[in-house]
Amino acid sequence: MIRGVALTVLAALACSCVHRTQVTTASPAAPSVWERQIHNAKDAGDGDYALRTLRETVAAEPDNPAARVALAAAYRERGYPDIALEMCRLAAQRFPESGDVELALVRALRDCNRRPEAIAGLEVFHAAHPQKPPEYSSWLGVLRDESGQWGAGEPAHRQALQLDPSADYLHNNLGYNLLMQGKSQEAAAEFREALKRNPASQVARNNLGMALARQDASKEAVANWQAVSDPATAHNNLAAGWIEKGNYAAARSELQIALGYNKNHAAALKNMELVSRLDGNPASIPAKRGESGWARLKRLFVGPLESPRRETAGPGADRSSAEKQAVGR
């Protein structure tokens, strides 16, 4: 999100002299937003040795695109995405053939939620430089996906894979695109390819679980998730898939199982509350021996009634972590 910059209007009034003749001087023009941003950027960098060094490098080496990209990244990391974007735009004008500058501009535009501009610019650059590495096609596919252009994103992901079929993140990204298009079987095949190349990829593992869940392969989906998480998280993720399909009874059943493994599982408790709102039935969670219904309800909405030291909670992966794409390679 673009950081707002306050505009300060300076008004200078000259006081009267001994003859009490009052003279009003013209007010200086208010600084523009860009001038204010430059001033803020300078202020932010004065006490920052690394940032000051990068600025000095850019000043000493104006024809060094890598230095400009590094400086833009530094401002982005420090919370000035709008300034980083303008730096990238200037760098792209100065170095129109640089792929690194183009990718930096794409990232900066994305940070400022200007995806249509990023897509248009990357399409032009990619058409003029078709032999560039797969990152350019991959970014084009991701940007289209994030804009809801799933059909247009698929060819870009496939083109990236043609350039580097061994990259696990490219298989994951194509699989994610296919999953969002409802092509669950094709998506699962891509996620499996990603895991062959990188068995430690939790992103691909989570995505494979969602693809299997959408094929109603519940047992296989749970087994897949349990390979990288605990049973409560696995059943919670499956419940999230049922919620997405509108099968609240099946979701409630999976959440009961999840909470049976870990009654304090935060994501499962939230999903149980969500199911209760969606289907209008009271939340139901496994009861401890001798626990009243009111105590169960309080535990659902307030939290554990006993000291958390008695039982260690599992990782508790939330639903939002189940489906992802990898960018920024």
Average of pLDDT values for 86-100?
95
**Residue 16 burial (10 A CB sphere; 0-12, 13-18, 19+):** exposed
Task: Please name the residues in contact with 65: beta carbons below 8 A apart, sequence gap of 6 or more.
Answer: 91, 94, 95, 98, 100, 101
pLDDT band at 30 (very low <50, low <70, confident <90, very high): low
Domains and CATH numbers, the chain: 33-132 (1.25.40.10), 133-227 (1.25.40.10), 229-306+316-322 (1.25.40)
Q: How many residues does the chain have?
A: 329
The total of other beta-carbon atoms located within 10 Å of residue 30's CB is 13
Digit-coded pLDDT (tens) for 104-124: 999 999 999 999 999 999 999
Q: Report which of 142, 216, 143 is spatially closest to residue 174, judged by C-alpha positions.
A: 142
Predicted TM-score (pTM) above 0.75: no
Give the pLDDT confidence score for residue 164 in this predicted structure: 95
Per-position DSSP letters for 247-276, written without gaps between them = -HHHHHHHHHHHHHH-TT-HHHHHHHHHHH
Mean pLDDT of the chain: 79
- Give me the pLDDT at residue 42, please: 56
The 10s digit of each residue's pLDDT in 124-142 is 998 998 877 999 999 999 9
Sort 241 into a burial class: Cβ within 10 Å, 0-12 / 13-18 / 19+: buried
pLDDT surpassing 60 at residue 225: yes
User: What tens digit of pLDDT does each residue of 255-273 get?
Assistant: 999 999 998 999 999 999 9
The Cα–Cα gap between 32 and 30 comes to 6
pLDDT of residue 8: 32
pLDDT-derived band at 303 (thresholds 50, 70, 90) equals very low
pLDDT, tens digit, for every residue of 165-196?
999 999 999 999 999 999 999 999 999 999 99
Range with the lowest mean pLDDT among 50-59, 97-106, 159-168, 275-284?
A: 275-284
